[in-house]
Structure 1
Amino acid sequence: MSEPQNKREQTDPSAGAKGAEGEAPIVVKKYANRRLYNTATSSYVTLDYLADMVKNGQEFVVYDAKTGENITRSVLTQIIVEEESKGRNLLPIQFLRQLIQFYGDSLQTFLPSYLEMSMDAFARNQEKLRAHMRDTFGAAPGYQMFEETARQNMAMFEQAMKMFSPMSGLYQQAMNRGAGGGAESEEIRELKSQLAALQRQLDKLEKKG
């Protein structure tokens, strides 16, 4: 597949915007020279442009122009790395360490859904807070109060991660001891109890929003 020629760099993420709710995501192609090509606007774009699309709620999917492979996940990860390198540190070091520990772990398949559910609850909570601040303070919200609430939310999120991490060892022990079949082991019942407790904490977090 040849690379498009003589196309200008797209600088406005809102130009030719598609991918809104109910519409197909915008297709972006990545070429061997690492250039990104927005097929909706017939123009080259940057990672910053894609980051703005995410912030504007525009859906897109990225394909390798040569192989056709869906590489959206790696491109989104690259955007996060770029943002972190600019000093916009959003991910705590301890959180990153805990995340790395789950690669190859027996609970690895469960973690993505858990993180997605947690971030959805966090996002809903933040949106309600922003709305409350707009109603209370008008166009000049109290950012100090917002930052404090954000810190509290992140602390609760990290606490939930700490609760989740010890379950890995407990889960493995339960599976090893219960591998021979028979009645449900005490370890498995304990694991179910801890998972239920974690779910209750997540429910409380969402209700506080």
Structure 2
Amino acid sequence: MTKSKGKADGIVIKKYANRRLYDTSTSQYVTLDYLRDLVKKGTDFQVVDAKSGEDLTRGVLAQIIFEEESRGANLLPVDFLRQLIGFYGDSLQSVVPGYLQMSMNSFSQQQGEFRDKMSEAMSSPQATMAMLEEQTRRNMELFGQTMRMFTPFQAGATPEAESGAAPEPEGKPEDLSALREELDSLREKMDQLLDKK
């Protein structure tokens, strides 16, 4: 975690050792529900340790999600949570935050259209399934695009690369076999994700 730099464009919430939260913009103690409402309103805030100035925002946001889930607002499917936990320490760990951010941004941009389709879909189970399949397909396309950004041999795309035949990269044989193994592993994971759809 990093030290707070002091955000001029958002609210600073101080967290004290007794776990109390203090909104410096209103000079009052607040709750996690108050912070949840700020998030829903789109209000930017940063939570910092009152003594050290350490940025605690990520942990507090995760705590808000935990509170919501424990109240029965089950937004995160168990399989998703298991997959997410599985990525900790995995070679793809660094890719996951960007992919999730891109997926959520895309979903947020499409939510107006999605809400219209949802109200239409409520009248027909077939329409509901078609809509969910379409959204899943879009998410998998985004994931595929993200994975291609991190494919080591994409930089010098040649006609062979476009046709699906990977060019022979230069390097030590043991480095090449390690890269091939990792690439095969990534392809296998992507195939598994596509099959689950």
TM-score w.r.t. structure 2 length? 0.63
Among candidates 43, 55, 65, match of residue 28 of structure 2: 43
Among candidates 30, 35, 43, match of residue 15 of structure 2: 30
Distance (whole Å) between structure 2 residues aligned to residue 116 and residue 93 of structure 1: 20
Residue correspondences, number: 158
Distance (whole Å) between structure 2 residues aligned to residue 190 and residue 26 of structure 1: 44
Offset of residue 67 of structure 1? 1.4
Q: Deviations over 1:19-51 (max 9, x none)?
A: 9xxx61110000111111000010111111101
Q: Deviations over 1:112-159 (max 9, x none)?
A: 1111111111111213333x47xxxxxxx5582699377546755886
CA RMSD of aligned residues (A): 4.4
SS for the counterpart of 1:37 is strand
Give the structure 1 partner of residue 164 of structure 2: none
Distance (whole Å) between structure 2 residues aligned to residue 33 and residue 143 of structure 1: 48
Give the structure 1 partner of residue 122 of structure 2: 144
Among candidates 43, 63, 76, match of residue 58 of structure 1: 43
Going from structure 1 to structure 2, the CA distance change for 1:86 and 1:157 (only over 3 Å counts) comes to farther
SS for the counterpart of 2:46 is strand
Give the structure 2 partner of residue 187 of structure 1: 180
Instruction: Indicate if the aligned counterparts of 2:11 and 2:23 stay in contact, CA closer than 8 A.
Output: yes
Q: Deviations over 1:63-100 (max 9, x none)?
A: 01111100100000000000000100000101000000
Distance (whole Å) between structure 1 residues aligned to residue 89 and residue 183 of structure 2: 23
SS for the counterpart of 2:47 is strand
Structure 1 moving runs of 4+ over 2 Å: 127-130, 141-164, 178-191
Identity %: 46
